[in-house]
C-alpha cells in the first residue's frame, strides 16, 4: 500500500478533498490536518502499513515525513483503490468517517499519549495540552473512542 492509495481511498469515501490538498487556505489546511490524523489513527488502530514517524505538534500527532510526501505527490491521477491489504477499512470507516477535525485531533492526542505511557492517558493532561477544546468535548471524544474500542 502506498500513501497515494490511502489518499485515493479517503477521497473516494469523501473524507478529504484531494483536489484542495495543497491549497493555501483554511480548507486546504483542514484537509492536511485530517490526512495527518487519519494516517496516524489508521496506523495505530487499524493496521495501516505506512510506517510514518510521528511526534507531538501544535495540532496533535504530526509527521514531517508524511507532510513532505503528500506535498510531493502528483494527486491529479489518483486511482480509486478498494482493496487495501492488511487494513481494517470497515472498522476505520465506522469509527472515523464524519468526525470533525477537532475530534480527530483530540483522538490522535489520546492515542499518542496512551502509546507513549503504555497506559490510559490522564485526561487532565489532554485538557492542558489542548486548551482550545473544553474538558467536556475531550471527555466526549474519549467516551466515543471507548465505545468504538479504539482505546
Express as a percent the part of the chain with pLDDT over 90: 66
Q: At residue 20, does pLDDT exceed 70?
A: yes
Terminal Cα distance for the chain, rounded: 25
Q: At residue 79, does pLDDT exceed 70?
A: no
Spell out the domain ranges in the chain: 3-147
Relative to beta strand 55-57, strand 60-62 is antiparallel
pLDDT for 80:
62
Give the global pTM.
Answer: 0.91
pLDDT for 46:
95
- For 31-59, what is the mean pLDDT? 94
Q: Which stretch, 22-26, 53-57, 118-122, has highest mean pLDDT?
A: 53-57
Query: DSSP letters of 40-106?
Result: HHHHHHS--------EEETTEEE-HHHHHHHHHS-GGG-------TT--HHHHHHHHTT--HHHHHH
Amino acid at each position: 500500500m502506498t500513501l497515494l492509495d490511502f489518499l485515493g481511498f479517503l477521497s473516494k469515501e469523501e473524507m478529504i478533498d484531494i483536489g484542495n490538498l495543497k491549497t493555501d487556505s483554511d480548507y486546504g489546511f483542514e484537509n492536511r490536518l485530517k490526512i495527518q490524523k487519519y494516517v496516524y489513527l489508521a496506523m495505530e488502530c487499524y493496521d495501516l502499513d505506512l510506517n510514518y514517524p510521528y511526534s507531538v505538534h501544535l495540532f496533535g500527532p504530526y509527521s514531517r515525513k508524511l507532510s513532505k510526501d503528500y506535498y510531493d505527490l502528483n494527486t491529479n491521477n489518483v486511482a480509486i483503490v478498494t482493496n487495501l491489504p492488511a487494513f481494517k477499512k470497515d472498522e476505520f470507516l465506522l469509527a472515523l468517517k464524519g468526525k470533525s477535525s477537532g475530534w480527530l485531533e483530540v483522538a490522535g492526542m489520546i492515542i499518542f499519549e496512551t502509546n507513549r505511557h503504555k497506559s490510559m492517558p490522564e485526561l487532565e493532561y489532554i485538557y492542558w495540552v489542548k486548551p482550545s477544546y473544553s474538558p467536556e468535548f475531550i471527555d466526549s471524544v474519549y467516551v466515543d473512542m471507548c465505545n468504538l474500542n479504539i482505546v
